[in-house]
Each structure stands twice: as structure tokens, then as C-alpha cells.
Amino acid sequence: MEVQGKIKLVGETQTFGNNGFRKREVVVTTEEQYPQHIMVEFVQDKCDLLNNFQVGQQVKININLRGREWTNPQGEVKYFNSIQGWRIEAVQDGASGPGTPPVPPAEAFEPANDLKEDEHDDLPF
């Protein structure tokens, strides 16, 4: 799965517990009719993937959905979901993707001036 949008926030790396668990969060705003602010967390060695990205940058993030069950001290079962990123890449603004050649500017095309009205065929379309 993937999430695409503009970076709204890049958090600092946080360390938890005695084992040194690391987590870093990024918030991406999707560009659709109803924009969504999606928080994606990167964990352990994946935290460093965010070092080269800044607020305002267009990105595509490959994600995994994670879910877990937890029983609180009162015996109630709770469920938690998280969105975990494992790859992030910059996306160019515009429609051309990788491998698509750029479109030349309009000035690069010359108008066809040698058309003659009387030279036409009898095709119905």
C-alpha cells in the first residue's frame, strides 16, 4: 500500500524503553477533494529514511497497516492500529513520471502552412 501527498510535519526521532526502540513520525497531507492528514511512523533503522525530507515536499510512502490487541488492567480488550512506513521517495510535481520524456514547448512546433483546401478525400469522418 502507499500514501502520497505533501509533507506537513517531520518529527524528531524518539527512543523508548531499555532496549532502545526508536520511532519517528511524519504527517502527510493528501491532495484530494477532502484532504487527509495521515500520520505515518517509521521505526528502528527506518527512522533515518526521513533525514533527507522537509516540510512542503511531495512524497510517496510505502506503508504497512499494523494492528494489535491489548487487555487493560480492568480486563477490557482494546485494539490499536498504526500505519508503518518502510520506504519514502520524492515525487515530482507534474504529470510526467519516471521514464516519460518531457513535452517540448509549443514554440518548438511549426504551424502547417502548406495545406490546400481542395485536397481532401471523401471519407465520412
Distance of CA 122 to the CA centre of its chain: 51
Residue % of the chain over a pLDDT of 90: 72
pLDDT in tens, 90-99: 998 655 445 5
CB atoms inside a 10 Å sphere around CB 110 = 6
Beta strand spans in 17-76 (E)? 21-29, 37-43, 58-71
Largest distance between two CA atoms of the chain: 90
Q: What is the mean pLDDT of the chain?
A: 86
pTM > 0.85? no
Domain 2-93 top-level CATH class: mainly beta
- Residues 39-71 have pLDDT tens digits of 999 999 999 999 999 999 999 999 999 999 999
